Chain A
Amino acid sequence: MSKALVCSCEDVTVEDIRHAVAKGFRDVESVKRFTGFGTGVCQGKSCLSAVAALLAKEKAQKPEGIVPFTPRPPLYPTELSLLASLPVDESKPPVGGVPQELDTFPATLRPEGAVPTRARVVIVGGGVLGLALAYNLSLRGETDVVVLERGYLCAGASGRNGGGVRMQWGTAANIELAKRSIELMGRFARDLGINVWLRQGGYLFMAKTKAVAERLERNAALHNKHGVPTRMLTLDEARDVVPGLSLKDAQAVSYNPEDGVIFPWPFLWGYANACRKAGIKVETYTRVTGFELSGGLVRKVKTDRGDISCDTVVVATGAWSPEVAKLAGVSLPNEPHRHEILSTEPLKPFLGPLVSVLDSGLYFSQSMRGEIVGGMGDPLEPAGLNMGSTLRFVSRFARALTEQLPNLGHVKVLRQWAGCYDVTPDNSPILGRTPGLENLLQLSGFVGHGFMMAPAVAERMAQWMTTGASDELFTRFNLRRFHEGKLEREDMIIG
């Protein structure tokens, strides 16, 4: 059948690009994510300029606004076994990272005109948490809301995570939130009209030390108490779940078949689209520059496109939250920590669950598209908003991954990237009112699992905000706890 291909790796046609533009995706990064062009084996070598020319021709974008998507290493597909050959000095912290993300975007990318001068609620941060909250507010009749996003949708951690969703947590609060989130994810397409490809292939956690093994066993009992069917597997059972998996040094394996993986990006599009339909303004490429405070309240949010008077402000900026809160004179204890991740060539399905070695922070799964997507935390990663990629990471990861699944040695890495975890001292989020600034609400500190918690947390927060009914979530996880020493430690963090 006659088709005009732009990206032949992913079978993206000229029509697909036009369709994306018609849907409002007008910059290269957004068109890449919506159509999938440039995400295949060639990583944009043969299609990027053709897409740029099309965007110019369709007048989707002025030439100054046509910026190439960030080129991720490796430049050519590279076997994991080769990357694994690089020795890494684990006693030293990682240094550097390439390429650095654009900090400022061309002004032409900004929407034309000023932002609204007044809104009842301003949500800073157009990641999954901010957008999910806006959507849930609209369900409760509150549509006088503006969402501000400094880049394109998916530019932050919401667009950079591995898409894992699990109920296996170490605290009752997180287990319940995750259960509800996964339920909402299962009906996301019905509610919001876009596929998110939830695939419940389970999460298989492995422990290689006695201490971690005990933690898995203790948590599995807690999961069962909350109706989550986690069970401890024998090594033979684990091999049945993941054929070819090395269980060397494995002390314990836990498995919940109802955990899974999703495709993160459509969540943002689905929520943003529903918000816009409800009359909520979602303003991309708009940066918050400050706040106007008086009488213990935030009166205005200042942006590079004008000021917005408001009744309530929500900080939902993930790893950027300390930076944004500081503009209001609020000091948050969160720290951004880079986490690196990579994706391989697409293979026919062979791996059911997401596998994680809890001791090292290694995790990997197979996406719906067939790629192995995975990462591993670096214990010496310094705090900072660094989103560059390192050879050190791919090397450490490649070694750890091929140790667990040796047949992946010849599999090639297509691209590596990084995002930032928003890390709090007790690995639990910061939610609710800010002491001293009552109408500044916090919605941050999810330590790399904000994505999977977003649907449920946003639902509770919207209810709490619109009804005024008390909800222990917003007192238990309040910023106050760090002064009062009532920490709520979560011990099932990967990485």
Chain B
Amino acid sequence: MRRLPDAASRGKSITMDLEGETVPAIEGEPVACSLIAAGESVLARSIKYHRARGPYCFSGACSHCLMRVDGLPNVYTCRVPARQGMKLERQNAYPSAKVDVFEAIDWFFPKGLDHHEMFAGVPVAEQVMAKVARQLAGLGLLPTAPAPERLPVETVRTRVAVVGAGAAGLAAAQVLAAQNLPFLLLERDNVLGGRLLSGVPEADAPPPPAEGLLAPERVRTRVTVIGLFDDEEGRFLAAVNEGTGEPRLLRVYAERFLLAPGGHPPMLPFENNDLPGVYASHAASLLVRRYGVAPEVAALVGSGPELYALARLMTERGTKVAAVVDLKGPVPADAPAGAVQGSEPKAHGHNAVSGFSYQDASGRRVKVACDAVLVAVAPSPSFELARQGGAKVEYDEAREVFAVVADAEGRTEAADVYVAGDVRGARSAAQAAADGRRAAEALAQSLTRAAVGGKS
């Protein structure tokens, strides 16, 4: 990974402390982004086999980038903004993450380690194993100091709570605003727009949100929703608000919940899919579009239109695309030159990607040299909140994901829960926006009906 030439102006240049070494960073950009741009690919060792890990998803949906940051364990460095002098330590490695003696576990157990049956009932060995396992278990070290007293919880009451300010959530919020319905839009990122800003570009996508699109009192950024709960006062979203300095717990009670949280970048199972240098397409597009960080040479693997769109984006931004391998096919006529249908992908390299191979249609293994493997597959809908709210979730066999069951207007099995966008299955940004509008209109109607019903 390298920082593209036009990246210098994106923020103030600072330095961080990585286990005693000084590494350059850009203030405010995700720590992991600065680290990989500085050539630090190994950020951690994995929990069981001590495999080298670098950031994968850049959305807080895996665990590859967890580090000890300023004395706190298991911090998502893909989310936390870089600050001058930040102290970073790699976890679960001895003596260091680059040369970790416990990597031997990975080599000793090529077929995996069955902790259920290993040494089961073997006298002495069983006890020794239990002692060793306990010492090897766990990831971070206990924080050395107590947490500060937190700010008192903030409680907000509104008519509609909207989760996610991507294509679907933004479109929904605009409808609610036009209808003068009080609502609050909660976004985990520090900017509105989701994939409109940082996703793989789509030709028919709506434009990214203009400044002042929504009234500021209707929007909160850097708010991470952690659950849809209920109590004696009704149903509410619980969230952690980091948008106003010190983190603070927030409760949002609402009559309706419009959930458009999008999806999580999933792992695609293939050999060495966890090697530093393997990135989800979401991460690759975010890094190049927002932070100007990109690989020199990348191999792309996956399926669907996002695979090809990502290939175009990377080429445009100066990355040499060494392979585009479609695991489902057929390869569409307008695909970038060189795209092929293939199977059995595999990443190569020790501690970092140095190559990629796949089996082509004739059964031949083709290998290319590269410094990154980019994985483009449909996101896994973030159905958790909807399910907590009582919506039904089903397996979509064609898309190979779980999605929230909803009608065309986004109504779910729970009367006050509406869904739009990726959460109901992978869709284009344009479709997500249309989803958002329809859901917001139906939801607004249900509130009007409830008000009329209440009066009669």
> Which A residues contact B (CB, under 8 angstroms)?
1-11, 13-16, 19, 34, 40-42, 45-50, 52-54, 56, 63-64, 66-68, 70-71, 73-87, 92, 94-100, 187, 189-191, 193-195, 197-199, 266, 269, 345-350, 368-370, 389-392, 402, 406-412
User: Given A40-B63, A67-B395, A98-B230, A6–B240 Cβ distance below 8 Å?
Assistant: no
For the complex, give the distance between the alpha carbons of A4 and B119 in Å.
Answer: 25
Task: Check: B289 CB closer than 8 A to any chain A CB.
Answer: no
Question: What are 9 A-B residue pairs whose CB atoms fall within 8 Å in the complex?
Answer: A9-B62, A13-B112, A15-B112, A19-B114, A73-B229, A75-B225, A95-B232, A189-B121, A198-B130
B152 within 8 A of A: yes
A98 and B229 contact, CB distance less than 8 A: yes
13 extra interchain contacts, Cβ-Cβ under 8 A, other than A46-B264, A348-B137? A8-B53, A45-B382, A52-B400, A81-B148, A82-B248, A84-B150, A193-B117, A193-B120, A198-B130, A389-B227, A391-B227, A391-B231, A407-B146
The 8 Å CB contact of A40, one of B47, B112, B116, B118, is: B47
**Cβ-based interface call for B269 (8 A):** yes
B143 at the interface (CB under 8 A from A): yes
Asked if B198 is an interface residue, CB under 8 A from chain A, the answer is no
Residues on B with C-beta less than 8 A from A66 are 395
B266 within 8 A of partner (CB): yes
Selected from A56, A81, A406, A409, the residue in CB contact (under 8 A) with B397 is: A56
Q: Which residues of B contact A (CB under 8 A)?
A: 46-49, 51, 53, 56-57, 60-64, 66, 72-74, 106-107, 109-112, 114-121, 123, 126, 130, 133-135, 137-148, 150-153, 224-232, 238, 240, 247-249, 251, 264-274, 346, 380, 382-385, 387-390, 393, 395, 397, 400-402
Q: Are B249 and A86 in contact (CB under 8 A)?
A: yes
Complex: chain B residue closest to A68, CB-CB: B402
- The complex places the Cα of A259 from the Cα of B335 at a distance, in Å, of 64
Other-chain contact of B51, A3, A187, A195, A389 (Cβ < 8 Å): A3
Q: Which residues of A contact B114 (CB under 8 A)?
A: 19
Chain B proximity of A10: nearest CB distance (Å):
6
| A6 CB, min distance to chain B CBs, angstroms | 5
B63 neighbours in A (Cβ, 8 Å)? 8-9, 40-42
Q: Give A350 to B140 CA distance when docked, in angstroms.
A: 11
Q: How far is the CB of B102 from chain A (nearest CB, A)?
A: 12
Are A1 and B107 interface neighbours, CB within 8 A? yes
Known: A10-B47, A98-B230. A45 touches B388 (CB 8 A): no
Which residue of the partner chain B has the closest CB to A40? B63
Give the shortest distance, in Å, between A374 (CB) and chain B (any CB). Answer: 15
Residues of B within 8 A of A347 (CB): 73, 138-142
Interface secondary structure of B, over-half rule: loop
B73 cross-chain contacts in A, Cβ below 8 A: 345, 347, 411
Set A74, A97, A194: member contacting B117, Cβ < 8 A: A194
The answer to whether B271 and A76 have CB atoms under 8 Å apart is: no
* Distance (whole angstroms) from the CB of A167 to the closest CB of chain B: 20
Q: Which chain B residues border A198 with CB–CB below 8 Å?
A: 130
Per DSSP, chain A at the interface is: loop
Q: Are B112 and A3 in contact (CB under 8 A)?
A: yes
Q: Is the CB of A41 within 8 A of B230?
A: no
Contact of A99 among B109, B138, B387 (CB under 8 A): B387
Query: Are A5 and B134 interface neighbours, CB within 8 A?
Result: no
- Rounded to whole Å, the gap between the CB of A399 and the closest CB of chain B is 11
Cα distance A53–B225 when bound, in Å? Answer: 28
Nearest residue, chain B, Cβ from A41: B63
Candidates B53, B112, B121; contact of A191 at CB < 8 Å:
B121
In the complex, what's the smallest C-beta–C-beta distance from B270 to chain A, in angstroms? 6
Cβ-defined contact, B150 with A82, below 8 A: yes
The smallest C-beta distance from A84 to any residue of chain B, in angstroms, reads: 7
Chain B residues within an 8 Å CB radius of A187: 121
Report the minimum CB–CB distance from B401 to chain A (whole Å). Answer: 5
Q: How far is the CB of B267 from chain A (nearest CB, A)?
A: 5
**Given A9-B63, A16-B112, A76-B142 contact (CB < 8 Å):** no
Question: With A73-B226, A190-B121, A407-B142 in contact, do A45 and B74 touch (Cβ < 8 Å)?
Answer: no
Which residue from chain A places its CB closest to the CB of B49 in the assembled complex?
A11
How many angstroms from the CA of A280 to the CA of B43 in the assembled complex? 50
Measured between beta carbons, the chain B residues less than 8 angstroms from A70 are 387
A97 touching B146 in the complex, CB below 8 Å, given contacts A45-B382, A49-B400, A199-B134: no
- Rounded to whole Å, the gap between the CB of A102 and the closest CB of chain B is 10
Rounded to whole angstroms, the CA-CA distance of A82 and B400 in the bound complex is 36
Q: Kindly list chain A residues whose C-beta atoms are within 8 Å of the C-beta of B225.
A: 75
B143 engages A409 (CB within 8 Å): yes
Q: Enumerate the 3 nearest inter-chain pairs by beta-carbon distance, A residue then B residue, closest first.
A: A370-B138, A409-B147, A81-B147
Other-chain contact of A45, B61, B231, B238 (Cβ < 8 Å):
B61
Measured CA separation A8–B63 after assembly (Å)? 7
**A372–chain B nearest beta-carbon distance, Å:** 10
Across the interface, name the chain B residue whose C-beta is closest to A366: B138
B29 CB → nearest A CB, Å: 20
Chain A residues lying within 8 Å of B106, measured Cβ to Cβ, are 1, 3
B232 touches A92 (CB 8 A): yes
Contact B143 A83 (CB under 8 A): no
Q: Contact check, A68 vs B145: say whether CB atoms are below 8 A apart.
A: no
Task: Give which listed residue, B133, B267, B271, contacts A47 with CB less than 8 A.
Answer: B267
Contact of A46 among B48, B107, B249, B266 (CB under 8 A): B266
- Docked complex Cα distance between A63 and B395 (Å): 7
Which of A195, A346, A389 is the one whose CB lies under 8 Å from B139? A346
The answer to whether B120 touches A75 (Cβ under 8 A) is no
A47-B267, A49-B402, A370-B138 known; A75 vs B384 contact (CB < 8 Å): yes
A82 with B130: in contact, given A3-B271, A348-B141 (CB under 8 Å)?
A: no
Q: B141 to A47, Cβ gap below 8 A?
A: no
Residues of A contacting B248 with CB < 8 Å? 82, 85
| Contact indicator A346/B229 (Cβ below 8 Å) | no
Q: What are the residues of chain B within 8 A of A368 when measuring CB–CB?
A: 130, 133-134, 137
Residues of A within 8 A of B138 (CB): 346-349, 369-370
Check B380 against A407 for contact (C-beta < 8 Å). no
- Shortest B365–chain A CB gap in Å is 14
**Is there contact, CB below 8 Å, between A349 and B135?**
yes
Smallest CB gap from B73: residue in A: A347
Q: Please name the residue on chain B nearest to A193 by beta carbon.
A: B120
Q: Which residues of A contact B382 (CB under 8 A)?
A: 45, 75
CA of A411 to CA of B139, assembled, Å: 12
Chain B nearest CB: distance from A278 CB in Å? 18
Asked if residues A46 and B400 are in contact (CB atoms below 8 Å), the reply is no
Q: Tell me how far the C-beta of A402 lies from the nearest C-beta in chain B, rounded to whole angstroms.
A: 7
